[in-house]
């Protein structure tokens, strides 16, 4: 899978993820931080998995 496809899929899911994180955390700022960290960690994990092949 192309890394751009991964980024597109994450961006498409971002509004849903923000809503979910907001309901869990109760703060928009914390939700935005959590989703940003998820995106960074997810990208790093995918890069590592691709290199391991």
How would DSSP label each residue in 1-53?
--HHHHHHHHHHHHHHHHHHHHHHHS-HHHHHHHHHHHHHHHHHHHHHHHHH-
**Total tally of structural domains belonging to the chain:** 1
Q: For every one of its 53 residues, what pLDDT tens digit does the chain have, with 9 covering 90 and above?
A: 566 787 888 999 999 999 999 999 999 999 999 999 999 887 765 555 556 66
Q: Taking every pair of C-alpha atoms in the chain, what is the biggest distance, in angstroms? A: 40
Token digits for 24?
Answer: 């869990």
Four-residue CA torsion sign, 2, 49, 22, 30: negative
According to the model, what pLDDT value does residue 6 have? 76
Domain membership of residue 27 as a residue range: 3-52
Q: What's this model's pTM, rounded to 2 decimal places?
A: 0.74
């Amino acid at each position: 899978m192309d890394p751009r496809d991964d980024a597109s899929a994450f961006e498409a899911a971002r509004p849903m993820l923000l809503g979910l994180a907001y309901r869990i955390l109760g703060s928009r700022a914390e939700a935005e931080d959590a989703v940003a960290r998820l995106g960074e960690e997810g990208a790093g994990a995918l890069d590592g998995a691709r290199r391991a092949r």
